[in-house]
Amino acid sequence: MSEDYLATNRANWDSRAPIHVRHYGIERLLADPAALSDVVRFDLPRLGRLDGLDVVHLQCHIGTDTLSLARLGAASVTGVDLSPASLDEARRLAASAGAEITYVEADVYSAPAVVNRQFDLVYTGVGAICWLPSIERWAQTVAALLRPGGRLFIRDGHPVLNSVLAMDVATEHPDRAQQPWITGPGQATLALELPYFEQEQPLVWRDEVTYAGKEAVSSPESVEWNHGLGQIVTAVLDAGLQLTSLVEHDSSAWEALPGLMAFDESTGEWRLRDRPERFPGSFTLTASKPA
């Protein structure tokens, strides 16, 4: 596959970085040396303390989650991202917080060769793997980065979330006679319109604004792929890792479907305002590398 997607996505994330600095809660992280990002705070019950571990954070962006991992007691933390502008902001945040974090510029697939070491934990946060064309290659990368006995922790947007669009219902559905809560005509609902399974050809988007802050970006084009949940699990197993948990959540870390979601202050997450039990917004997967 052409590597042009890397240049496109690098420019897109470079243009988002200075905007996201104003909307990622950095003031709170700097005001309280024990504060965690909303993402890592949500992950904490499944992630646990990281005391004494060597941690690598793939696709770390501006480093708010990376700093949070360091605050969980890790012996060392390395953040990897393809966007130099994002890494500049991440280094600035770490320095302001007094945290010893190493940041490395590399795309995910190049990370093992660039960092040239192994880790106890590979952490990948929300909104990451959709930028990668091959989930199989991603899992092989994770396995290469883990030392024997090490573990993978990923929470990301659910592939169902990446498949849906908000659309208005045009006609009455006959099943509403029995299940009156089914969305009726003129109301907005979820429609499976985008690929669920990984496709060779990506989705190319041109979004003039970014999701955080709703400010215009100078490089609006991006390239994405979805990966089905079964494809993700199979890739992890085929890479020689042992699956230890898989949890689906009814929430996402960002307002993925504007107008249909409500913010939950207690979790820092967004979920459907109407019947959230019908929709998986994110998932957490953990796996280990045999010792």
Task: Give me the pLDDT at residue 142, please.
Answer: 98
Sheet holding 251-252, edge to edge: 251-252, 269-272, 261-264
| CA diameter of the chain | 61
CA distance 62 to 78: 13
Instruction: Report CA-CA distances (Å) from 245 to 46, 145, 248, 259, 280.
Output: 9, 20, 10, 32, 16
pLDDT in the model for residue 211: 87
pLDDT at position 1: 44
% of the chain surpassing 70 pLDDT: 99
Record: fold of 4-168+194-257+280-288: Rossmann fold (3.40.50)
CA–CA gap between residue 272 and residue 259 (Å, rounded): 9
Q: Which string of DSSP letters, residue by residue, matches 189-206? A: EEEE-S--S--SSPEEEE
Identify the pLDDT of residue 214. 79
User: pLDDT (tens digit, 9 = 90+) per residue, 73-125?
Assistant: 999 999 999 999 999 999 999 999 999 999 999 999 999 999 999 999 999 98
Work out the pLDDT band at 56, boundaries 50, 70, 90: very high
Sheet with 119-124: strands ordered across: 102-105, 76-81, 54-58, 119-124, 146-157, 282-288, 242-249
Tokens representing 46?
């499944």
191 contact partners, CB below 8 Å, separation of at least 6: 164, 165, 166, 167
Q: In this model, does residue 48 exceed pLDDT 80? A: yes
How distant, in Å, are the alpha carbons of 169, 188, 196, 255, 260 from that of 252?
24, 19, 17, 7, 12
Sign of CA dihedral 241, 200, 155, 11: positive
The per-residue pLDDT of the chain, averaged, comes to 96
Which residue, among 151, 172, 164, 139, has the nearest Cα to 238 in the 3D structure?
Answer: 139
Report residue 255 as tokens: 């307002």
Q: What's the half-sphere exposure (Cβ side, CA atoms, 13 Å) at 67?
A: 29
Contact 148, 142 (CB under 8 A): no
Q: What integer pLDDT is reported at residue 84 of this predicted model?
A: 98
Contact 285, 154 (CB under 8 A): yes
Q: What DSSP string runs through 215-282?
A: -B-S--EEEE----HHHHHHHHHHTT-EEEEEEEESEESS-SSTTTEEEETTTTEEEESS-GGG---E
Q: What is the token pair recorded at 242?
A: 């042992």
Phi-psi region of 116 (alpha: psi -120 to 50; beta: other; left: phi over 0): left
- Please tell me the predicted confidence (pLDDT) of residue 2: 53
pLDDT digits (tens, 9 = 90+) for 223-281: 999 999 999 999 999 999 999 999 999 999 999 999 899 999 988 999 999 999 999 99
Q: Give the pLDDT score at 146.
A: 98
Say how far apart CA 160 and CA 283 lie, in whole Å. Answer: 10
* Cα dihedral across residues 149, 150, 154, 160: positive or negative: negative
**What single-letter amino acid sits at 235?**
A
